[in-house]
Amino acid sequence: MSLWTDIEIRSAGDTVRKEDANWERLRFGVDESVKLLDPEIVTIIDAALASFTFGGFTSLDDMLFKLGVKLVISPDTPKRIVPDSLPEWVLYWKNELERLESLLGKDCASNTLYKDALKELEKAEKERDAWAAMALLGRYDRFSKEIILYPNNIPSPDQRKEYLVTTFIHEAMHAYFDRHPHELFPYVATVEEPLAEFGMLLYLKEAKKEENAHFADDALRKWAYDNVVSKKTCYRYGAALMDRYEKGDSQIRQDLESYKRKLF
């Protein structure tokens, strides 16, 4: 059996066509305030079913079924939660500037150490603010074992399909990792998000699609790569990892697959 296997309608006792089962599975927990168009559904299903050897699994469908992960399309429009490590980073450099001001006195502004600390503070504030400004398109809930997509948060209506399928694959990587909660390890998020982006780009490059599949064309791969590069947070490093992999660094892929090991 798989994530998309035909389901049975209890009230009627009839078996639903596979296409209807796919739709019902995607609409789990969804009300009428959010809808997916048929091409968007097909693209997500194509991505789930495509052959992809990764971490002992043969496809995302195989992975999510064996891990017991459901796919939920939500009408909600939640805001992104900034990882604790980023405000802590900002606070560190604010404290450092205060220390240097106290140590160096009124001429601190011309001191090289002070200037460097000020640059670091500005960098930290930009990272924090950029993270908070990013639209939350999906998340993996390790407690409920659900990938939750938020189509109503998609920033560009003309690119819904691209955002939906790349977010689905990105969150599937988080489901594969299934690390301990980020709140216990505040620096995990800034490591894991670039890895999930790299995993998404790797999947788009290497998954073997069926004939006429819609998810793995060259245009989508280029869009996904450019989208990762354009991000102003640590997510953008996922493209750098992909660059290294394509230049022959096979260890990057091994590190990606082994990252699922528990912290303790």
- The verdict on 67 and 164 lying in the same domain is yes
Any residues with CB less than 8 A from the CB of 220 and at least 6 apart, and which?
162, 165, 166, 204
Identify the bridge partners of residue 139 per DSSP, sorted by sequence position.
148
Between CA 147 and CA 154, with CA 153 as vertex, the angle to 5 degrees is 95
Has residue 1 been placed in a domain?
no
Has residue 68 been placed in a domain?
yes
- The verdict on 159 and 206 lying in the same domain is yes
- The verdict on 89 and 73 lying in the same domain is no
- The verdict on 248 and 224 lying in the same domain is yes
pLDDT value of position 22 = 44
Q: How confident is the model at residue 18 (pLDDT cuts 50, 70, 90)?
A: very low
Has residue 181 been placed in a domain?
yes
- The verdict on 90 and 159 lying in the same domain is no
**DSSP codes, 165-192:** HHHHHHHHHHHHH--S-GGGSTTHHHHH
Has residue 264 been placed in a domain?
no
- The verdict on 177 and 102 lying in the same domain is no
- The verdict on 28 and 103 lying in the same domain is no
When the pLDDT of each residue in the chain is averaged and rounded to a whole number, the result is: 83
- The verdict on 186 and 249 lying in the same domain is yes
Q: Which of residues 130 and 210 earns the better pLDDT score?
A: 130
Q: Which domain holds residue 193?
A: 8-80+134-258
pLDDT tens profile 170-207: 999 999 998 766 667 767 888 899 999 999 999 999 99
For 213-224, b/e burial (b = at least 16 CB within 10 A) is bbbbeeebbebb
What's the rounded mean pLDDT across residues 67-89? 89
- The verdict on 52 and 18 lying in the same domain is yes
What's the rounded mean pLDDT across residues 37-59? 87
Distance CA 218, CA 224 (A): 10
Q: How confident is the model at residue 211 (pLDDT cuts 50, 70, 90)?
A: low
- Count of C-beta atoms within a 10 Å radius of residue 77: 13
- The verdict on 238 and 157 lying in the same domain is yes
Has residue 196 been placed in a domain?
yes
Domain stop point among 98, 133, 168: 133
Has residue 234 been placed in a domain?
yes
- The verdict on 164 and 47 lying in the same domain is yes
The whole-model pTM stands at 0.82
What's the rounded mean pLDDT across residues 72-89? 89
Has residue 46 been placed in a domain?
yes
Structurally, how many domains does the chain consist of? 2
Has residue 263 been placed in a domain?
no
Q: Average the pLDDT over each of 67-71, 139-143, 153-157, 212-216 and give the range with the smallest value.
A: 212-216
pLDDT value of position 13 = 36
- The verdict on 99 and 228 lying in the same domain is no
